[in-house]
Amino acid sequence: MTVLAGILASAHLGPATAEEIISELRLGVLAQDIPVLAGQKEHGADSNAELLFVSPVRATWTSDVAPELRWLLTPRPDVGIDANTSGYTSQAYLGLVWTATPFQHLFNPNDSLFVSIGFGPAFNNGHIASSSPDHKSLGSNVLFHGTLEVGYRINQRYDVGLYFEHSSNAGLARHNEGLDNAGIRFGVRF
């Protein structure tokens, strides 16, 4: 029994607190369907909310990796939603987010610049094939969802970032107009 108790204690398999599960909450406003990779058809603003969870990869597992490369091995699961305020496509998404902090201690001991990239599926309520000039033909209600965020971590708790996301079916369906959204988000770390 003592050996089993020692294994369980070292694995931290007891009840988890919120801080051990949730890493960060990010809230923002995005411009819908900005004309980056295709023409703009949909309009309005999206309210964006995203929960980032603590990486399932323990720090002890990556302790032998160079500190500047550890971010590659410690993705954080995420779940989020873009709710369009003008009746166009809204989407919910999940996936993994990798975050690097290439510059630290810029203006104070706790600030840094960060870059996050993410990937996973997105589930939307948009049109698969649209004949309307103001709705995208997305080809599917399940799309690939890629993200890029560049931001400033004000201190250990708060950050602000410029966020871009692209959702498309990667040419796997007959229609593939894709959806590009961009905006600003504010984060609170736990």
Residues 48, 28: Cα–Cα separation, whole Å: 5
AA identity, residue 154 = I
Angle at 80 between CA 79 and CA 83, to 5 degrees: 160
| Full-model pTM | 0.88
Q: What is the pLDDT along the chain (190 residues), one digit of tens a residue?
A: 454 444 444 444 455 666 689 999 999 999 999 998 777 999 999 999 999 999 999 988 999 999 889 999 999 999 999 999 999 999 999 999 999 999 999 999 999 999 999 999 999 999 999 998 899 999 999 999 999 999 999 999 999 999 999 999 999 999 999 999 999 999 999 9
How would you class 10 by CB atoms within 10 Å of its CB: exposed for 0-12, middle for 13-18, buried for 19 or more?
Answer: exposed
Taking the domains of the chain in order of start, what are their residue ranges? Answer: 19-189
Pair 147, 185: CB distance under 8 Å: no
Q: Under CATH, which number does the domain 19-189 receive?
A: 2.40.160.20
